[in-house]
Structure 1
Amino acid sequence: MAWNEPGGNGNNQDPWGGRRNNGGDRKGPPDLDEAFRKLQESLNGLFGGNKNRGNDNDSGGSKGGGGFGLLLGGLAVLAAIWLYSAIYVVDEQEQAVVLRFGKYYETVGPGLNIYFPPIDRKFQENVTRERAYSKQGQMLTEDENIIEVPLTVQYKISNLQDFVLNVDQPEISLQHATDSAVRHVVGSTEMDQVLTEGRELMASEVKERLQRFLDTYKTGIVVTTVNLQSAAAPREVQEAFDDVIRAREDEQREKNKAETYANGVVPEARGQAQRLIEDASGYRDEVVSRAQGEADRFTALVAEYRKAPEVTRERLYLDTMQEVMSNTSKVMVTGDKGQNNLLYLPLDKMIDGRSGAAASSISGSSNDASTSSVRPPQMPEVRTRESR
């Protein structure tokens, strides 16, 4: 059933929203101008426009004033948004670089600042905080061994202008420069130094070379510390490397034992050699002094002999017999009264005993001092009174 047929529901409601009044008349389609006018009045009320309506002429003036107010409101909103984005605060640990029309304009310190986008561009960074970059990779040493070297680089921004303008992605450039510096240092170092006590020296060399690269690129980055952690062999050959390290430790241990033994034996041998040298020197001085004394005694004896030959010979004879008899056993044979006593001297035993004593003396001296020997003193000629 159509909305406008008699008896239909459309008698009271049409699709355009018109209602029949009590008199049976209905309104026409809604006025679009009236809807826009009500919307404009609402906006004018929001931004301070005139809400009162007068006659038709006043309605036309309200429409013109409402459009101008809407424009002012939009401009105010845009200005507020621009001002909110243009004002910024730089902390004590930060700096900001401002570019105007793409060209460096100024470096801003801590405080409240303003710039003018889109004419200006701002780059704000913390320049006091230390940043860290870690890396690990397989590298080839000087003796052609592959090892894994983990390291950590600590750095900070020293010049924000260079950091922003000179290099695109300066931290990526830092990673590439670190890789180049580490490979150069490890490639010129043997594996033993990399795995053991050479890491500190390598870290200083890597830091120096890396800083030289960054200064050449003018990245505005300063390297504070390079930490080379414990290097290790790749997992595929770790067992073989462990065997090599154990063998090297065994070699060093055996060397230490040999050095310890040498440090104990060599000084002892040197001491014994010095003792033998001192004993030989003493023996030599003794023999020379004794010979010199004998020569001096003989010289003095010659002088006395020339003065009194008979007396001197007698005295020599008595002294010699006294020396011989005092060190030799004697047998006295006595006879009857009126017979001469016979003194028996075992000359053969005396000679054998004197020879044995001299041989033992020479043997003892050769064992303690040197192999030099001294001829045994000759027996003095024993002469009887009849032979004289």
Structure 2
Amino acid sequence: MSWNEPGRGNRDPWGGSGNQGPPDLDEVIKNVKGKFGGLFGGKGGSGGNGDSQGNSGDGSGPPGVSGTAIGAIIGVAVLVWLASGIYIVDEGWRGIEKRFGAYHQTTMPGPHWRPPRPIGTVERVNVEEVRVSEVGYQTGGGDRRRHVPREALMLTQDENIVDVQLAVQYQVEDPAKYVFNFRDPDQSLKDVTESALRETVGKRRMDFVLTEGRTEVAQETRRLLSEAMETYGTGLRVVSVDMQDVQPPEEVQSAFEDAIMAREDEQRKINQANAYRNEVIPRAQGEAARVREEAQGYREQVVAEAEGESARFLAVLREYEQAPEVTRTRLYLNTVSDIYSRSQKVYMTGDAADSLLYLPLDRMGDRQSRNHAERDTGPLDPDILDRRLTTQDRQQPSGSRSRGDLRSREAY
């Protein structure tokens, strides 16, 4: 059927009936424009025979819309779309701006603007929060800890198994690397931590890990973890690595506790022995040094006295060779003077009738002191006093009693 042949029911292909011709194209455009204008509340366009006010010829045409209203609506929509690009970054956070999903820049705390979606997006990252990654256990609500054997059980150098629980504290150092380099950087840090811990424990014996090696294991794990995070570019910084618990497996824990107690007793005994040694040896060394110093001083004293006596004897010998009689007399007088100066007896020569009365003032002072002592402590025993006097007589030089015809009297 050709385009101008009538169809069924005497209708043409354009929807007309009877002998009507094809519809007017201008009329169709005006009808569509009028329908759209009615949606915005404007007046419809003028019909084919309408007047210049936009009404149809019969006054029943659809209302039209003005171009100013359409422009205002579009402008408001654009403003709302642009305003949706304003965002605020809180203190302690960083904003990661993206352009069509690619990194654009990192923004600091404060208000910022980015192109709205779908052109630009922003992701906020907390850089001040100290995050915790747990290996060997999981912390639940109410500080409850759940043991994770798959992560905690590790093999040592001497082929023993230990149960290690470790906590890593870390922060976001580079937000851009944290967002773009890894899909899940927190899980990556935990995996690397477990690997570094297993490497560290695997290079050490079980006894060392269970006792004095806890700090060393934590420090070595932190070093390996920090190097890996820097190499991988995760944007994370390790703050600390804390060893939570190290113990043997639960099945053999009682036997290990007994072994640890025995080891601690051994160490305690060793410490006590070392303390005793550190106390005795310095004292003995000091005593030995004192004895050596005293011996050295005595040797120098004896040598000096001997040299002095020798020099004095040689000097006297030279004088004796020059004047024997004078030197002999002087030696005698010096000896007698030295002996009498220490004696408590009075020696007089000549007849008793010619002797003078001698008052021993020094002995009187000694007797007064003895009287005071007797008043304080009681009278002295005469036997003790006689023994003292006999001892004093015995201590006198023999030369003082045999020289010449000297006579002695007690000075009382």
TM-score, normalised via structure 1 length = 0.51
1:146 to 156, 161, 183: 161
Task: Provide closer, same or farther for how the CA distance between residues 79 and 58 of structure 1 changes in structure 2, counting only shifts above 3 A.
Answer: farther
Match of 1:157 among 144, 152, 172: 172
Instruction: For 2:238 and 2:278, locate their aligned partners in 1 and report how far apart those are by CA, in whole Å.
Output: 48
| 2:251 pairs with 1:250 | no
Report the equivalent of 1:60: 61
Candidates 238, 258, 269, aligned match of 2:253? 238
| 1:213 and 2:212 aligned | no
Contact 1:97–1:107 (Cα < 8 Å) also in 2: yes
2: CA distance, partners of 1:80 / 1:186: 62
Cα 1:150/1:57, change in 2 over 3 Å: farther
Paired letter, 1:121:
T
Check the 8 A contact 2:36/2:65 in 1, yes or no.
no
Match of 1:174 among 173, 185, 189: 189
Whether the 8 Å CA contact 1:44–1:50 is kept in 2: the answer is no
Aligned residues: 245
* 8 Å contact from structure 2 (residues 37, 43) kept in 1: no
Question: Shift in Å at residue 253 of structure 1?
Answer: 3.3
Pairing 1:278-293 to 2, within 5 Å after superposition: none
71 and 233 in structure 1: CA distance in 2 versus 1, 3 angstrom threshold: farther
Aligned to 1:127: 127
Displacement of 1:213 in angstroms is 0.3
Change (3 A) 1:163 1:255: same
Residues 170, 237 of structure 2: 8 Å contact kept: yes
- 2:373 maps to what in 1? none
Find the partner of 1:198 among 213, 221, 225.
213
CA shift at 1:193, angstroms? 3.1
The unaligned stretches of length 5 or more in structure 1 are: 1-36, 283-388
Q: Are the aligned partners of 2:37 and 2:65 in contact in 1 as well (CA < 8 Å)?
A: no
Structure-2 change in CA distance of 1:246 and 1:58 (3 Å): farther
Question: CA, structure 1 residues 80+260, in 2 after alignment: closer, same or farther (shift >3 Å)?
Answer: same
- Mapped contact 2:192–2:228 kept (Cα < 8 A): yes
Counterparts of 1:57 and 1:125 in 2: how far apart (Å)?
Answer: 67
Q: What secondary structure sits across from 1:230 in the alignment?
A: strand
Q: 1:54 to 1:214 in 2, by over 3 A?
A: same
Q: Tell me which amino acid in the other structure corresponds to 2:114.
A: Y
Q: Distance in 1 between matches of 2:235 and 2:90?
A: 20
Which residue type is aligned with residue 114 of structure 1? Answer: W
1:223 maps to 238
Among 197, 202, 205, which residue is 1:187 paired with?
202
Give the stretch that moved more between structures: 126-135 or 190-199: 190-199
Give the 3 Å change call, closer, same or farther, for CA 57–98 of structure 1 in structure 2. Answer: farther
1:282-321 to structure 2, matched below 5 A, reads: none
Give distance in 2, aligned partners of 1:70 and 1:276: 116
Deviations 1:193-241 (A, max 9, x none): 3223322222222111111001111111111111112312221221111
Give the distance between the partners of 1:215 and 1:196, measured in 2 at CA. Answer: 31
Which residue is equivalent to 2:101? 102
Residue 88 of structure 2 is matched in structure 1 by 89
Question: Residue type matched to 1:86 in 2?
Answer: G
Residues 230-266 of structure 1: per-residue CA shift (max 9 Å, x gap): 3122212211111111121232234345556666887
Whole-Å separation in 2 of the counterparts to 1:166 and 1:182: 24
C-alpha offsets along residues 341-366 of structure 1, whole Å, 9 cap, x if unaligned? xxxxxxxxxxxxxxxxxxxxxxxxxx
Report the alpha carbon displacement of residue 268 of structure 1 after superposing the two structures with TM.
Answer: 9.5
- What letter is aligned with 1:234? P
For 1:89 and 1:270, how far apart are their aligned partners in 2? 76
1:373 counterpart residue number: none
Partner AA of 2:135 in structure 1: K
Are the equivalent residues in 1 in contact too, given 2:175–2:235 (CA < 8 A)? yes
Deviations 1:281-318 (A, max 9, x none): x9xxxxxxxxxxxxxxxxxxxxxxxxxxxxxxxxxxxx
Question: Contact 1:98 / 1:106 at 8 angstroms: preserved in 2?
Answer: yes
In the aligned structure 1, how far is the partner of 2:280 from the partner of 2:215? 38
| SS of residue paired to 1:92 | coil
CA distance in 2, matches of 1:151, 1:214: 17
Q: Distance in 2 between matches of 1:233 and 1:177?
A: 23
- Take 1:275 and 1:69, find their aligned partners in 2: how far apart are those partners? 114
Identity of aligned residues (%): 41
Larger mean CA deviation between 216-225 and 64-73 belongs to: 64-73
Q: Which secondary structure state, in structure 1, belongs to the residue aligned with residue 61 of structure 2?
A: helix
TM-align CA RMSD? 4.6
Could you tell me which amino acid in structure 2 is paired with residue 183 of structure 1?
R
